């Protein structure tokens, strides 16, 4: 027991180091997203997030977009509760058999014109869950995808860059 306590005290944490975020890069990206959002959307883009079977890692990064640092709403982007109010579906995770029908119905309920953005490696092709008995496949195997943002999970800045690419 004493040996274990000693090891806990002297060993460094096993978690990865916090990634460094460059304030200037965030400000520049924010400016570019804001400019494109104004030009293309008149400062309004309603996003419906769909978790199609994710491990919730991607959700944590998406959630960070709403915090005071990234403050997604300053660009005119906002998350909405209903697909009927959405312009864009932000889909995470591999599509599980349980969520396949829900994803199809959410897509159908979203009024055109609409975009679908697949977030994370799982959303592309099932990622580390590919081949599982519970998984249908990537998002594109169920609904048409306009953009894929890679990463496991992608950082908030990469998700912002993806949205910018969509608007450009
Ligand atoms: S891409 Fe990574 S973080 Fe996102 S759902 Fe898949 S395993 Fe989880």
pLDDT band at 9 (very low <50, low <70, confident <90, very high): confident
Our answer on whether the CB atom of 126 is closer than 6 Å to any ligand 1 atom is no
Single pTM value for the model = 0.80
User: How far is residue 166's CA from residue 168's CA, in Å, rounded to a whole number?
Assistant: 6
Question: What distance in angstroms lies between residue 57's CA and the mean position of ligand 1's atoms?
Answer: 5
Our answer on whether the CB atom of 53 is closer than 6 Å to any ligand 1 atom is no
Residues 6 or more apart whose CB falls under 8 angstroms from that of 9 comprise none
pLDDT band at 41 (very low <50, low <70, confident <90, very high): low
Contact between 50 and 79 (Cβ < 8 Å): no
Contact between 94 and 53 (Cβ < 8 Å): yes
Ligand 1 atom nearest to 127, measured from its CA: 6
Would you state the pLDDT for residue 98? Answer: 96
- pLDDT tens digits, 46-56: 999 999 999 99
Residue 103 has pLDDT above 80, yes or no: yes
Would you state the pLDDT for residue 166? Answer: 77
SS (H, E, C) 10-44: HCCCCCCCCCCCCHHHHHHHHHHHHHHHHHHHCCC
User: How far is residue 11's CA from residue 31's CA, in Å, rounded to a whole number?
Assistant: 42
Q: At what angle do helices 156-167 and 57-64 cross, to 10 degrees?
A: 70
Provide mean pLDDT across the span 58-67: 94
Question: What distance in angstroms lies between residue 18's CA and the mean position of ligand 1's atoms?
Answer: 18
pLDDT band at 137 (very low <50, low <70, confident <90, very high): very high
Our answer on whether the CB atom of 120 is closer than 6 Å to any ligand 1 atom is yes
Would you state the pLDDT for residue 25? Answer: 67
Residue 18 has pLDDT above 60, yes or no: no
Provide mean pLDDT across the span 94-108: 96
CA dihedral sign, ordered 86, 87, 93, 98: positive
Our answer on whether the CB atom of 122 is closer than 6 Å to any ligand 1 atom is yes
pLDDT band at 8 (very low <50, low <70, confident <90, very high): confident
Would you state the pLDDT for residue 52? Answer: 96
Our answer on whether the CB atom of 76 is closer than 6 Å to any ligand 1 atom is no
Would you state the pLDDT for residue 44? Answer: 76
Contact between 106 and 83 (Cβ < 8 Å): yes
């Amino acid at each position: 027991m004493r040996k274990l306590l000693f090891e806990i005290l002297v060993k460094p944490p096993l978690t990865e180091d916090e990634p460094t975020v460059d304030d200037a890069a965030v400000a520049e990206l924010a400016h570019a997203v804001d400019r494109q959002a104004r030009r293309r959307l008149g400062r309004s883009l309603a996003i419906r997030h769909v978790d199609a079977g994710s491990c919730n890692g991607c959700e944590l990064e998406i959630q960070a977009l709403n915090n005071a640092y990234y403050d997604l709403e300053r660009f005119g982007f906002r998350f909405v509760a209903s697909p009927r109010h959405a312009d864009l579906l932000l889909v995470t995770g591999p599509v599980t058999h349980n969520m396949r029908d829900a994803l199809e119905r959410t897509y159908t309920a979203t009024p055109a014109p609409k975009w679908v953005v697949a977030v994370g490696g799982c959303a592309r092709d099932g990622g580390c869950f590919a081949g599982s008995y519970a998984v249908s496949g990537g998002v594109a195997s169920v609904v048409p995808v306009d953009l894929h943002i890679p990463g496991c999970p992608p950082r908030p800045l990469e998700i912002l860059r993806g949205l910018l690419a969509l608007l450009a």
